[in-house]
Structures are given as structure tokens and as C-alpha cells.
Amino acid sequence: MNVETAARATDFRPFGRPERLGKSLAWLDGVQEAAMERFHEHGFPSPKIESWKFTNLSRLARTTFHDAGVIKGPELTRAALEPYRLTPDCHLMVFVNGQFRPDLSVLDHVPDGTRVVDFAAANEEDLRALTAPPVVAVDPQARSLFDLNTACMSGGAVVHLGRGAILDPVQLLFVARPDTEPTAFHLRNLIRAEAGSSATVLESYIGLGEGIYWTNAVTQIAVAPNAVLRHYKLQAEGSSAFHVAATSVRLDHQAAYRMFAASLGSGLCRNEIDVDLSATDAVARLAGTTLARGVQHLDTTIRIEHSKPRGTSSQEFKAVVDGRAHAVFQGRIRVAPDAQKTDARQVSRSLLLSSTAGVDTKPELEILADDVKCSHGATIGDLDEEALFYLRARGVGEAEARKMLVDAFIGELIEHITVDTARAYFRRAFDRWLAYGAQP
Amino acid sequence: MLKIEDLHVEVDHKEILHGLDLEVPEGEVHAIMGPNGSGKSTLAYALAGREGYAVTRGRILYRGRDLTAMAPEERAREGVFLAFQYPVEIPGVVNANFLKSAVNAVRRHRGETELDAMEFLKLARQKLKLLNMDEALLSRPINVGFSGGEKKRNEIFQMWMLDPRLAVLDETDSGLDIDALKIVAEGVNALRGPSRAILLITHYQRLLDYVVPDRVHVLAGGRIIKSGGKELALELEAKGYADVVKAAAA
């Protein structure tokens, strides 16, 4: 660790202590103190660590951030949030600058057997999830921001599904209204789906206005036997924002996890998704897209751990990169010696729209079982010039033709989203991005 | 309608057309025939404005205006249509969406009102019916999974929808069985009219049995080396290109 990050690290105070959460739990104090110690020891992940070699956080490490608590809650109305909502009537938890806003949330018809509450209203059993380490073990320095989150967490959502419960889409909407001073939001979400339950959870990270802020989000998910979780995430932070997120998912026997992640906001983003198929016959299907332009640097890092036999996993990720932007895709599949009959595949495709755009893609397969099906493929290409000419030769303008081809590239991914309203939600987000891109 | 003067075209710094002259008056159908490698497709792409086909000398006058300065989409909106020898497959772009954008871009350019979804569909159905084509084509991605014949018919369909003034058909007859050839030929014949010009680029005389040209030109070595009436096509078919090229060189 270099001196600079060590010095900076000491500036972080654990302001999200249990008192803040309205709790006084000795064990939680211990967990948070230990996490802060680990963060102090390791500092920010450096590019010298293998898993961080494509994404340099030195700019983030050099920035002095203030507590989220310093900012007065900006005046926001429900109407102002309308464009960012999944549907006008879905269950909704709104957080503005890291703080839960019950006045903007809609939680009055959450069905029996489920709980959707703010972190402060979590019970001790919910919070026990905080003692669980990340589901996939990596170098502790690579994890230091997860630790920082544990030490500083100021709030987030707790979604609990009782046995056999069914929850219609719930949207967790994290809105940032940046202040003149850089601000950090350490958000922690806990999602627990008991046996046989089924739910759809959408996380939306939206930046309103310009200004520097940092979202450091951790979402811990446990899916019990025969439960199904559809998990969607839209990262549309402000253009000067840092977005660092770790999603950590543990799947039990015959649990099914479907994830779609779209990353199109922020100046610098690291979106990590770790899934442990910790019991037999679990299924994890991950897909997503990165849309980057300007000087954005957007990183998606996936680690899939097949710990037990007969698991199925798939990763299908696409990136469209324009301007001087940079996209990173790292996808790891690890198959434990015991995880026979694993079926794991990974595909990443990138489309470069300018000569100054860049992509780094790194597949990693570590297969320790002998009776498995594993595959990976990666492509990086430009827009098809022949197709572009064909469209233009019929009268379609160049910008419109490019838009059609980019849309075609990402469009099919949307079919991975099985919930109609969510598919439409991402469609709208993509259309906004494409419309912006079509302008001169 | 179309007047090409001393046209030189380079592809990858190699000159393919070495001073081509050609005139196609309004209301006429002309055929350009020539051996492989003579520059037929280069001429087609140069007319449509494909990137990489650099006009280094000469000019292409279309209705009195120089085409070479126009982007491909401007040429299309001005009424130039190229039916591709190899229509491009474009996964993910639905035919109807693409064609509606194209038709409306052309209509805007002509100062006509744009078609809404219903009007477009009505027009498209009408044209498809005349071409004996399945309406399902509209909801399929452009040319993806189409047979060779379907692709060529899709070109004719698009041509009908865009209603061009100058249609250039690059080997639209190649790879077609006789039934498909007849449909394509009927599609071309239906477009013949006093305000339109059609340029058929072909290797074989076969298509010209069904679409009888007013003039036939022989393209060889990057120039038009001989022009004549429709009987020239039959002469080429009987004697082969080599004799005609040799006679012209003599």
C-alpha cells in the first residue's frame, strides 16, 4: 500500500455505527471495528493487485469525502422521481443521498410474509448477514472497500421473503443530489429469500445534478432452497460520480438467481458480482450491458463459484464504448473439485464506436472437477461498415443508422429480463442513452 | 438523368475504373455487361457513394447535379437506388423499422408528409402482395436467414417502397432460379416509366430476356468499350466477352 492511500484511509470515520442505526449490538460493534481495522491496514485496492489492474482508483483515493450526514436532505417530490420509477405503483424504497426517505417511498401494500424495510428497522436476524464474509474469497486488499462499507454503512434496504412468499417487483431507488463538497454514501442492502419464495428486486442508482460523490454499495443476497430471485440493477449515476458496488450472492439447493445489470452512468464504476452456487442444482444466469462514452471508465467484474455438483451458470455481457471511454469485463468461473456436472458458460462482446475507445476483457476459468461443461468466448469489434452503408444507401441518415446498429447489438440482451415492466424500464434507459448518442 | 464523364475510381489506392463515360436518359433501361473483374460492382458502389470508392477524376451528373459530393443517404433521398449484389444481413434490425425510417427520410426530403405506422403497413402490404411475398418479412431482421432469392426480392420490394428515379441493379439476377428471376424481372419492368431510368449490371444475358434494355454497354478493363442496342447482349452471349473485347481493342 502506498503512503498516500494510507494517509487518506484514516480520514474515514465509521459514522454508520449501530447507534446511527438505532441499535446497540455488541457483536455488530465488533464486526464494524474489525472491518475498519482491515481497511486501515490495506487502504484502497491498488492496480498492482491482479483483479484491479484495469481499474485505477487513485483519483477516488485522493478525493476527500464528507459524511453523507452533513448534507441536508434536498427537497425532492414524488413527481420529480417519476421518470426513474419502474412503474407508478410498484413497491418503492427511496434513498436520497444515502438516507431513507419514507415520505417518497411506497411500501403500503407489501404482502404478508415479506418485509421491505429500511436498515434502521432491521431486526437482529437480518443484521446477522453482516457477519458473513463475501461469498467468494479474494485477496483482502481487493476487498477493502467492502470492509469500508461494513465500517461506515449508513443505511440501505432490507428485503426479507418468508417461506413461499411472492413479492411483486420492489424498486430500491438510490438518488444522489450532489453537494458542492464531495460526499460519500456507503449503502448496504440485505436480501434474504427463504425457501420456495420468489421476488423481483430492482436497484436503481440515479444521479441528479452535477458534482462529485461516491456511492459505495454492498448488496448481500441469500437465496434459500427452491427460491427464485430476479435481480436487476441500473447504474445511472451522475457523470462526475464514483460508483463502486459489490453484490454477493449465496445460492442454496435448487435456488435460482437471475441478474441483469446495466452500467451507463458515473465517471468511474466498478461493479462486482460474486455468486456462490453453494449447494447442488443451483442456477445463476447473469447478463448485462455497459454503455460508455466521453471519458467514462466502467468495469464489470464477475466471479462465479461452483462449489457443489450440478450447478448451472451463464454470463452474457456486452459493452458499447464510444469517445475516449473505457470498459472492462472480467469474468471468473471457478469449479470446485466436488462440483461435478457443472455447466458454466461465459460470453462477452464489445463494440467500439471510436478509435479512442478501449476495452479490456479477461475471462478466467479455474476448473478443478473433471466432469463439467465450461465455455467462454470474447469478441471485440467495430460497427459493421457494410451494414452501415446498406442502411445509408437506402436513405437512413448516418447517425440514425449507427443508432440502429448499436440498438441491434444490445437489444437482444434485453430478452434476458423476464419481467415485462423491468424490460421496458431498461429499454427506456437504453433509448435515452441512444438518443443522446445520436445528437451531433 | 445520369451522365458519367471520364470517371476514374480507386479502391485501396488501385485504380479500377479508368475513364468511364456513360449516359442514361430519362425513361430508358440500360444494361452494363462485362466479364468478372471489369469494374461493374465498382461502378455500382461509386454511384451509391460507398466509402473507400474514391473518385479521383471525372464526375457523375445525376439530374444535372454532381453526385460525388453527396453522402450515400443524400443520394438515396435524391432518388438513387442501388440493389446490392449481396444484400447485407443485419441481425437485430427489423425490416419494417428500418424501411419505415428509410421511406420517411426520403419523403421528408421530398417535402412529403411522413407515413405513420398504419399508413406504412398498408403501403408495404400492398407492395408485398404485388411481389407475391410473405408479409412476415416485415417483422424479420433484415435479410437474416433469407434464401438468395428472398434477399433479391427484398431488394426489389425496398426499391418499390422507396420509389427511386434512378435504379441501379447490381447482378440482381445472379443466383436466382427461373421463377425468382421472373418475379424480379416483373418487379423491375413495373418500375419502367418515362420519369425513371434503370441501369442493369449483369454478367449474363439471361435477365435481359425478361427486362429488354434500350441500350447495352460492354464494360471491360474499367471503361465502356462498346455500346449498342439489345442485340449486343445476344452477340456477347454467342461469342463470349473475349472476342468483343479483342475486336474493340483492335
Q: Which of A289, A386, A396, A404 to mutate to test the interface with B (most CBs of B within 10 A)?
A: A396
Percent of chain A with pLDDT over 90: 75
Cβ pair A395:B77 closer than 8 A:
yes
Task: Give chain A's length.
Answer: 440
Check if A390 contacts B (Cβ < 8 Å): yes
Pairing, β A297-306 against β A268-277:
parallel
CB pairs under 8 A between A and B: 80
Report B:230-249 residues touching A (Cβ under 8 A).
none
Question: Does B103 contact A390 at a Cβ distance shorter than 8 Å?
Answer: no
**Confidence check: pLDDT of A47 > 60:** yes
- Tell me the shortest Cα–Cα distance from A410 to chain B, in angstroms: 9
- A416 vs A287: CA distance, rounded Å: 7
Instruction: Tell whether A34 lies on the interface with B, counting CB pairs under 8 A.
Output: no
Burial of A26 (0-12, 13-18, 19+ CB in 10 A): exposed
Per-residue pLDDT tens over the stretch A83-100: 999 999 899 999 999 889
Count of residues making up chain B? 250
Q: What is the pLDDT of residue A7?
A: 39
B91 touching chain A per CB within 8 A: yes
- Cβ pair B160, B131 in contact under 8 A: yes
Name the one residue in this structure whose C-alpha cell is 442508482: A205
Strand order, beta sheet including B14-24:
B14-24, B2-11, B53-62, B65-66
A-contacting residues of B 138-167, CB under 8 Å? 141-142, 158, 162
% of chain B residues with pLDDT over 90: 80
What rounded mean pLDDT belongs to chain A?
A: 90
Q: CA dist B241 to A113, B172, B237, Å?
A: 84, 20, 8
Cβ contact B92–A412 (<8 Å)? yes
**DSSP letter for each residue of B66-87:** EGGGS-HHHHHHHTEEEE-SSP
- Residue A399: closest C-alpha in chain B: B73
| pLDDT tens by residue, B132-166 | 889 999 999 999 999 888 999 999 999 999 999 99
> Which among B242, B217, B239 has a CA at the least distance from the CA of B229?
B217
Contact assignment for B87 to A390 by CB distance below 8 Å: yes
The pLDDT score that the predictor gives to residue A334 is 97
Confidence (pTM) = 0.88
Distances A128 to A25, A131, A162 between C-alpha atoms, Å: 11, 6, 16
- Rounded Cα distance between A209 and A298, Å, is 20
Residue A415 has what pLDDT? 87
Closest residue in chain B to residue A397, using alpha carbons only: B73
**Least confident stretch, A175-189, B7-21, B108-122:** A175-189
| C-beta of residue B88 within 8 angstroms of C-beta of residue A391 | no
Q: Which residue of B has its CA nearest to A392?
A: B73
B92 touching chain A per CB within 8 A: yes
Task: Kindly state the cell numbers that stand for A187.
Answer: 449503502
Residue A18 has pLDDT above 60, yes or no: no
Provide the pLDDT confidence category of residue A123 given band limits of 50, 70 and 90: confident
Burial label, A71 (beta-carbon count in 10 A; 0-12, 13-18, 19+): buried
Q: pLDDT at position B246, please?
A: 82
Query: Secondary structure of chain A: what % helix, strand, coil (to 5)?
Result: 25, 40, 35
Burial label for B214, CB within 10 Å (0-12, 13-18, 19+), is middle
C-alpha cell at A277: 452456487
- B247 — pLDDT class (breaks 50, 70, 90): confident
Q: Average model confidence (pLDDT) for chain B?
A: 93
A329 pLDDT higher than 70: yes
Cell numbers standing for residue B68: 460525388
A415 touches chain B (CB under 8 A): no
Give the whole-number percent of chain A exceeding pLDDT 70.
Answer: 92
Residue A154: exposed, middle, or buried by beta-carbon count in 10 A (0-12, 13-18, 19+)? buried
